[in-house]
Structure formats: structure tokens, C-alpha cells
Structure 1
Amino acid sequence: MMKKLLAGVLALGLAGPAVSEQSLDLKDPENTLYLDLPMGRVVIQMRPDKAPNNVERIKTLVRQGFYDGLTFHRVIPNFMAQGGDPAGNGSGGSDLPDLKAEFNDLLHLRGTMSMARSNSPDSANSQFFIMFSRMSALDGEYTIIGRVTSGMEFVDAIAQGEPPAEPTKIVKMTLASDVDNPVN
């Protein structure tokens, strides 16, 4: 009975970043994103195999320092935390052109990171969101670019609200390949 319950919880993504059917290469520093929050570091494994152009956009903006100091402006309990807007209200983006959607077969589970957009599927730019829980209605509607592999407790601690009274700021976003010195 307990095994069945645990299997169901893992399948729903309620037990954190279990990713059985969504295999990740945890040894790819070029596609490992560090999201540093005041509470601690969130590690996100990005999926260029599923959304190459959207992942490349995030990497480009991260390397420019675009996200450093931006806030999470829309944080809905049991749903998601959205950030990446320089205007801080959901209306802004980078100076780069909007991206075409790269909808894929990944699921919106707890810890999934997707590109935010307007009503137009091809309007993602710099904003992203991280899921607090499973939301199947978003599958195939938003471009999934990665998944939290550690630090989800820090995502859970992001100040809530639309906008939050005191929004949580991104301290810094970096790629593991740019800050770590892996031993060859």
C-alpha cells in the first residue's frame, strides 16, 4: 500500500523534483542554472533538447546579468512563482525579440520552469515561472525549459502576492559552467 501511495505521489510530482519520465543529465554544467535567492541557491537543469531557442535565450540573458536584482512579481500559492520582468509588473521583457513557442512533451510538475508569455504563443521573451504543484492544463501551452533539481524549499519561500508586498529579489543567476571549475 505504501509503495503504491509513494509511486502516486512521485508520478504527480508532489514529492519534489522526482523526474523519472523526464530524465535529466545532471552533469551538464553548460545547462545547469543557479538561481540565487536571499534564502539560498536553487539549481535548475535546463533542457536544450526540448526547447533549444528558449534555453539559449535564458543563457544569453543570464550571461548579461539581466536577471540580477529582478523580482518575482506574481506568486500564486499552490500554483507558481513568476519573475524575469525588468518592469516588475509582468509587462516587460528584454530588448531581444520575442521567441517562437517550443511546446514539448514535458509536464508542468512541481519544480518545472517554463517561459511566461502573453496570449500569443510566440510572445515569450525573458519572463519565466516555476511551478509549486502539478498543473496539467499548462502542458503543451507553455514552453518548458527545465526543472528544479535542488533548492525547491527556497522557491517555496518566495514572497506571495500579485504583486507581493515585499517581493523576493533574484540575487544572481549564473550558469554552472561559468562559475564552477569542474575537474576533468
Structure 2
Amino acid sequence: MRKLLAGVFCVLGPPAMAAGLDVTVAGEGANGTFHIELFDDVAPQHVARITALAKAGEYDDVVFHRVIEGFMAQTGDVQYGKMGADMRMAGTGGSDMSDLAAEFSDRSFERGAVGMARSQNPNSANSQFFVMFAPATHLNGQYTVVGEVTEGMDVVDAIKRGTGGNGTVVGQPDRMVSVTVTD
């Protein structure tokens, strides 16, 4: 494609096409599929990590271990968050891969935004991610935005909520039955 910029023609490559994820959820709350468009142009290392884990089936049967009403639903602990595991450890693990350096951007944490969870260290994201129920601008520039839900937000809204200030899910949490990479 050619485009005139300030009197000079520039050849532009094809627009960056991010991969996506289809996340099928089942449980006491949500039952259905939602789609995430991944921002490989904003957070390429994080998107590569998520897609690698999804392709390897690592996210299949991982629970939503932390779900806070009006804030977000967190999942992705491939180490301790598998359905049937000791849920007391869910949320404390990650993958066998090394942690990722932060890829902060000017993307805002709006409803449907998907971000990478981390510890106090900004360079500690690994496998866990969260989906926003509502805007949370205090997260902007503090966490890496990796994508946004573009279909099935009603499924996200139905995810079983946790209790207490930390949103720990009691009993049987909802789980990601399968996570499939799309083009």
C-alpha cells in the first residue's frame, strides 16, 4: 500500500494482524465462549507467551481463581490452577518459562481489556492474565495490556465471583475448558 505523507510517498506493509484466542468456559457461573483479540504490536513477548501456552494446551482446565465483582476475573495459573488440583495454591504459580519484562503501553484498562497478572515486580508476568469487568484506569502504565474481548463479554460477565477483598473463589470455580489460538 502506498500513502502520501507530507508530500512523500511511503510504502506501508500490511497492518499487523494479531492472533486471537477463543476461550471456552464452563462452571457454575459462565458457560460459553469468548474471543480475545491479542495486541502483538503492543505486547509482542506477552502475546507470544500466551499463544505458546494456549497451543500447548496448558490453559485447558485452568480455573478462574480470583474474581472480583466490578473489577476483573483472573486465570492462567498453569502450575497450580488446574481443575482438580489443590485450589489453595491457585494463583501462586506460573509456567516453566522465565518471567517476562514489562511491555507497558498507552492502552487503557477499559471494560473487556485483557492484562497480564504479575507480582510486585513489574517484570514478573508469566502465564496468568485477567479480564476487566469495568474500567480500572489506576492499572494504566502499571500492567501490560495484551488484548481485549471482542465477542462474548456476556460469558465473561457470568464468571463465578469470589469472596472477600481478594476475590478468592470458594467451592467449584469456573474454568477454561479450552483455549484455542485463532488467526
Q: TM-score range by the shorter chain?
A: 0.7 to 0.9
- Stretches of structure 2 lacking an aligned partner (at least 5 in a row): 1-14, 82-89, 163-167
The whole-number CA distance in structure 2 between the counterparts of 1:164 and 1:139 is: 29
TM-score by length of 2: 0.80
CA shift for structure 1 position 165: 2.2
Deviation string for 1:13-60 (max 9, x for gaps)?
xxxxxxxxxxxx8x94x6111111121110110001100000000011
Counterpart contact for 2:97–2:126, Cα < 8 Å:
yes
- The code of the aligned residue for 1:129 comes to F
User: Could you tell me the TM-score, scaled by structure 1's length?
Assistant: 0.79
Report deviation, 1:163: 2.3
Following TM superposition, where does structure 1 have runs of at least 4 consecutive aligned residues deviating by more than 3 angstroms?
none
What residue in structure 2 maps to residue 35 of structure 1? 23
- The structure that is strand-richer by fraction is 2
RMSD of aligned alpha carbons: 1.4
SS at match of 1:57: helix
| Identical-pair percentage | 46
Instruction: Give 1:68 shift.
Output: 0.1
Q: Provide the rounded CA distance (Å) in 1 between the counterparts of 2:107 and 2:23.
A: 21
On the 8 A contact 1:75/1:164 being kept in 2, the answer is: no
Larger helix percent: 1
- C-alpha distance in structure 2 between counterparts of 1:173 and 1:33, whole Å: 6
- Stretch moving more, 114-123 or 83-92: 83-92
**Structure 1, gaps ≥5 residues long:** 1-24, 178-184
* 1:164 CA drift (Å): 3.4
Residue 49 (structure 2) aligns with: 57
Task: Say which SS state the counterpart of residue 171 (structure 1) adopts.
Answer: strand
Larger radius of gyration: 2
Confirm or deny: 8 A CA contact 2:66 2:73 kept in the other structure: yes
User: Residue in 1 aligned with 2:144?
Assistant: 143
The answer on 1:46 being equivalent to 2:38 is: yes
- The separation in 2 between residues aligned to 1:46 and 1:164, in whole angstroms, is 30
